[in-house]
């Protein structure tokens, strides 16, 4: 598996945060961006929350752009400005499960999901337990939080 260096991870997570800034603000939802990057360092797909519908998550939007059995997913990295969700309020598949089903072996996040809407998001833990390499870049957490200022109370 190709492992990007820290500078590449920071660049791609910043792209995810920039995508999050495109999200229409919603009082009951985070603004999140996601980018799927192939092992050769090229962008395969990207998305942001609510890009094509009011309940869509960023990872869901990005993954929908590729066939689920796309061969490049097996060596890709998905960058998300927020930890992939482990549960959904709607009857939709959580993003952590979508990532596992797609077979993506590496996830990079800027920020762990706080207990604002879900008491205990365990997307990070679910991915790690399934053998996915998860990298957190806390130095960009403030930027990911800033995009979510419409929610208030995010320290």
pLDDT digits (tens, 9 = 90+) for 33-58: 999 999 999 999 999 999 988 889 99
C-alpha to C-alpha distance for 64 and 10, rounded to whole angstroms: 24
User: What pLDDT, on a 0 to 100 scale, did the predictor assign at position 124?
Assistant: 87
Residue 155 has pLDDT above 60, yes or no: no
Q: Rounded distance, CA 63 to CA 54, Å?
A: 17
Q: Can you give the pTM of this predicted structure?
A: 0.93
- Residue-averaged pLDDT of the chain: 89
Length of the chain: 155
How would residue 116 be classed by pLDDT, with cut points 50, 70 and 90? Answer: low
């Amino acid at each position: 598996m190709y492992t990007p260096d820290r500078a590449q991870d920071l660049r791609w997570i910043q792209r995810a945060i920039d995508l999050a800034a495109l999200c229409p603000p919603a009082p009951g939802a985070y603004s999140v961006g996601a980018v799927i990057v192939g092992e050769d360092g090229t962008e395969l797909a990207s998305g942001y929350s609510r890009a094509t519908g009011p309940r869509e998550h960023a990872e869901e939007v990005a993954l929908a752009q590729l066939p689920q059995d796309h061969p490049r997913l097996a060596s890709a990295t998905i960058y998300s400005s927020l930890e992939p969700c482990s549960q959904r309020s709607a009857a939709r598949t959580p993003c952590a499960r979508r990532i596992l089903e797609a077979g993506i072996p590496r996830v990079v996040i800027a920020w762990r999901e706080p207990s604002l809407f879900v008491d205990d998001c365990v997307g990070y833990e679910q991915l790690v337990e399934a053998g996915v390499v998860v990298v957190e870049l806390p130095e960009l957490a403030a930027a990911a939080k800033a995009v979510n200022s419409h929610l208030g109370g995010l320290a």
